[in-house]
Amino acid sequence: MFPSKFDYHRPSSVQEAVQILSDNPDAKVLAGGHSLIPVMKLRLATPSALIDIGRIDALKGISRANGSLRIGACVTYNEIANSGVVQDAAPLLAEAAGQIGDRQVRYRGTIGGNLSHADPASDLPAAALALGATLHVSGPNGSRSVSASEFFVDLMMTSLQADEILTEVEISAASAGTGSAYVKFEHPASGYALCGAAAVVTRGAGGSCTGASLCFNGVSATAVSANGVAASLVGSDLSDGAVESAVSNLSIPDAAGDMFASAGYRQELAKAIGAQALRTARDRA
């Protein structure tokens, strides 16, 4: 690969990384590199410096405490997909991470890089949305938290400030009676989601639905929530008919088309894939 020239920094703490980032406005944060390096290779991105956060141990842990799952930004897809802790507390995230790219990509790519890059066709954004994840970020003025629903702003744009780094993703551990599913219809070339549906449903004691969420990757400029549609399932028996009827009203605002698939087709895919995700989540609840 023949990128333009750039400086390379390898900080050993988040504070140091934030400092370097503040000092170098044209710098980019490098985690797994699987989105950044290809665009640098094509010289579509020409950062003045890379700040490699891959050696910061504080960004690498998975833990569960007080009903909360915390995943460091530099945890790889592979670690998430295969972590017993994640599989138990947020199986949706593990399932989505296991569908990203191929084995080599999953060994390098990280959750923090994925969410910060905010590719709408990637697999984690909808899962983070559907799980109501909280994203912890650090900047020169300290740390703050952002909910996933406020994090994704537009195509590859997040509410991260230029001098902030995503450090940790926090998710409430799944409660009893909850089932989830991530179903992807993949683009045959990229393997990204032409439409990826993340569904979570909770059944009450009598089996009827007490909570549901449904979010999509790949259909519009950001991962989007269709929780209005999901909410209409609350109180239902979650039968195939109830699911069909709920998704029949699905319409994703600003659905986007490209040369491979039109916006209208993606809307239809969202109905089919969304229903499949809801049915599978129900069966697992």
Partner 1 sequence: MAGESNGAAGFGSSIRRREDPELITGRAKYTDDLKLAGMVYCTILRSDYAHAGINSIDTSEAEALDGVLGVYTAKDIEASGVPGGVPVGWLLPGLKTPEHFMLAKDTTRYVGDGVAIVVAEDQYTAHDALELIYVDYDPRDGIADPKKATADGAPLVHDDAPNNIAFDWEIGDKESTDAAFANAAHVASLDIVNNRLIPNAMEPRAALADYNDITGELVLYMTTQNPHIHRLLMSLASLGLPEHKIRVIAPEVGGGFGSKIHHYADEAIAAWASMQVGRPVKWTATRTETYITDAHGRDHVTHGEMAIDADGRFIGLRVDTYAAMGAYLSTFAPAVPTYLYGTLMSGEYDLPAIYCHVYGVFTHTVPVDAYRGAGRPEATFIVERLVDEAARVTGIDPVEIRRRNFVAPDNFPYQTQVALAYDSGNYEGALDKALEAIGYDDFRTEQAAAREQGKYLGLGLSTYIEACGLAPSAVVGSLGAQAGQWESAVVRVHATGKVTVYSGCSGHGQGHETTFAQIVASALGVPYDDIDVVEGDTGSMPHGWGTYGSRSAATGGSAIASAAEKVVDKARTIAAHLLEAAEEDIEFEDGNFFVKGSPDQSQSLPDVALQAYLAHNLPKGIEPALEATSFYDPANFVYPFGTHIAIVEVCSQTGNVTLQRYLAVDDVGNVINPMIVDGQVHGGIAQGIGQSLYETAVYDDGANLLSGTMLDYAVPKAHFMPSFETDRTVTPCPHNPLGVKGVGEAGSIASPAAVVNAVVDALSPFGVTHIDMPVTSEKVWNAMK
Give min distance, CB of 280 to partner 1, in A. 15
Give min distance, CB of 245 to partner 1, in A. 15
User: In this structure, what token pair is assigned to residue 3?
Assistant: 């990128």
Surface-to-core class of residue 284, CB atoms within 10 Å of its CB (0-12 exposed, 13-18 middle, 19+ buried): middle
Q: Say how far apart CA 219 and CA 222 lie, in whole Å.
A: 8
Residue ranges in 181-220 that form contacts with partner 1 under rule CB under 8 A: 185, 187-192
Pick the closest to residue 140 from 22, 24, 12, 26 (CA basis).
22
Q: Say how far apart CA 101 and CA 109 lie, in whole Å.
A: 9
Q: Per CB under 8 A, does 2 bind partner 1?
A: yes
User: In this structure, what token pair is assigned to residue 63?
Assistant: 């833990």
> Interface mask (CB under 8 A) for partner 1, residues 42-81, using x and -?
xx--------------------------------------
> Interface mask (CB under 8 A) for partner 1, residues 253-282, using x and -?
------xxxx--x--xx--xx---------
Pick the closest to residue 153 from 184, 177, 127, 125 (CA basis).
125
Give min distance, CB of 272 to partner 1, in A. 4
Give min distance, CB of 91 to partner 1, in A. 23
Residues binding partner 1: number (CB under 8 A): 21
Distance spanning both ends of the chain, measured CA to CA: 47
Helix (H) / strand (E) containing 29: strand 28-30
Q: Per CB under 8 A, does 104 bind partner 1?
A: no
Give min distance, CB of 239 to partner 1, in A. 18
Residue ranges in 130-189 that form contacts with partner 1 under rule CB under 8 A: 185, 187-189
Q: Per CB under 8 A, does 6 bind partner 1?
A: no
**What are the distances in angstroms from CA 134 to CA 33, 137, 235, 251?**
23, 10, 27, 26
- Indicate the SS3 state at residue 40: helix
Chain residues binding partner 1 by CB under 8 A are 2, 4-5, 42-43, 185, 187-192, 259-262, 265, 268-269, 272-273
